[in-house]
């Protein structure tokens, strides 16, 4: 059996990584899923989903800083009329989805891992989907 959930969130900065681990874990728990896969998907071209360390907030800072260095906001050769080419490049680098194993009713993340909604063109109202696939 598969079930799809739509989640919403508000972002507050142009670039930020929002820890959505609890939100995804609550979705798994509320559904009563014990074994399977949770697929977390972002339907936006200037945002993404990542799994990374959630113990030290400096990791988020460092990731966002380095993405800004690699993809500067105002590169003189960008052509995209909306002016957010860097956001698109960051989203491509991050990716649109992550799959997490659910075992014994819990997300099978590593000790230091968290799931992040990565905003690269905020602030905005955003959404992401969680598809639970039991089995």
Q: What is the pLDDT of residue 69?
A: 96
d(CA 62, CA 94): 14
pTM value is 0.94
| Predicted confidence band of residue 91 (pLDDT cuts 50, 70, 90) | very high
Is the model's pLDDT at 56 over the cut of 90?
yes
What CATH number labels 2-134? 2.60.120.460
Residue boundaries of the structural domains of the chain = 2-134
Q: What is the pLDDT of residue 1?
A: 67
User: Considering just the CA atoms, what is the radius of gyration of the chain in Å?
Assistant: 16
Q: Is 8 helix (H, G, I), strand (E, B) or coil?
A: strand
Q: What is the pLDDT of residue 64?
A: 97
Which among 27, 19, 45, 52 has a CA at the least distance from the CA of 129?
27
Span 28-49, average pLDDT: 97
Q: What is the pLDDT of residue 2?
A: 75
């Amino acid at each position: 059996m598969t079930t799809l959930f739509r989640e919403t969130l508000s972002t507050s900065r142009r670039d930020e990584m929002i820890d959505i681990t609890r939100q995804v874990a609550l979705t798994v728990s509320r559904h009563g899923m014990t074994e399977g896969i949770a697929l977390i998907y972002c339907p936006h071209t200037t945002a993404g989903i990542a799994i990374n360390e959630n113990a030290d907030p400096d990791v988020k800072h460092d990731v966002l800083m380095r993405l800004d260095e690699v993809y500067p906001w105002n590169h003189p050769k960008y052509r995209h009329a909306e002016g957010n080419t860097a956001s698109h490049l960051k989203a491509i680098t991050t990716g649109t989805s992550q799959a997490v194993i659910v075992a014994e009713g819990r997300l099978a993340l590593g000790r230091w891992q968290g799931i992040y909604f990565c905003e690269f063109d905020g602030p905005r109202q955003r959404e992401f989907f969680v598809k639970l696939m039991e089995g």
